[in-house]
Amino acid sequence: MSRSALIVWGGWPGHKPQEGAEKVAALLEAEGIEATLADDVAVFEDFERLRQYDLISAQWALGSLTRTQEVNLREAVRAGSGLGAWHGSADSFRSSVVYQYVLGSQFVAEPGGFTPYRVEVDVPGDPIVAGVEAFEFTSELYYLHVDPAVRVLASTTIDAELVPWAAGAKIPVVYTKGFGAGRVFYCSLGHDPADLDHPSVAQFIRRGFAWAARA
């Protein structure tokens, strides 16, 4: 029996959320996970439906959630549905500390905008990042405020020319965390759907989402 995922897309159009959601859905199919796409956060209002999904993802930069929507999402993850997230997911629903608590990070800046940076693998033995060597990537660099409970699997180091006062700081690029009975995965890469064609990024998303999905 295949596992199921719900990918909710929308919000700021600059991330091309529908195209990105469709690409992620295709990656999940390779892992035997059947994805349903939705373009309205109203789907979070039906808790009984929501908790049936093995994996939930919100690619919705900016926007907002009602109290019912954020609580239902939190409780679905707490009950065992996974949360899979990438890039703009850390800039979703800025006013919802409930969502931020579950996800484990919040976008706060993009120093340098689109800039080359190096992605280092911190836990090479973890199956999500296994076999990936450090690589250079040019895209939007996310500066994140991060839950201290996350497990960082890959990161980038802030260059002194970008943020002098934070030079040498390591910013997560890939991390996992637990939330109740659920698993949470996040990858900061993927500003443009074309980024998901990079083999290492595709591996992060494919394996990370599969890990987060309820077994």
What per-residue confidence (pLDDT) applies to 1?
62
CATH number at 167 reads 3.40.50.880
Longest dimension (CA), the chain: 52
What per-residue confidence (pLDDT) applies to 215?
82
Give the other-Cβ count within 10 Å of 29's Cβ: 14
Cα–Cα distance for residue pair 214/6, rounded to 1 Å: 13
Task: Using alpha carbons, select from 34, 41, 53 the residue that is nearest to residue 17.
Answer: 41
pLDDT in tens, the chain (215 residues): 689 999 999 999 999 999 999 999 999 999 999 999 999 999 999 999 999 999 999 999 899 999 999 999 999 999 999 999 999 999 999 999 999 999 999 999 999 889 999 999 999 999 999 999 999 999 999 999 999 999 999 999 999 999 999 999 999 999 999 999 999 999 999 999 999 999 999 999 999 999 999 98
Cα–Cα distance for residue pair 184/127, rounded to 1 Å: 15
Full residue range of the structural domain in which residue 8 is found: 3-212
Cα–Cα distance for residue pair 141/185, rounded to 1 Å: 18
What per-residue confidence (pLDDT) applies to 113?
86
What per-residue confidence (pLDDT) applies to 122?
98
Number of domains in the chain: 1
Let me know if 183 is exposed, middle or buried by CB neighbors in 10 A (0-12, 13-18, 19+). buried
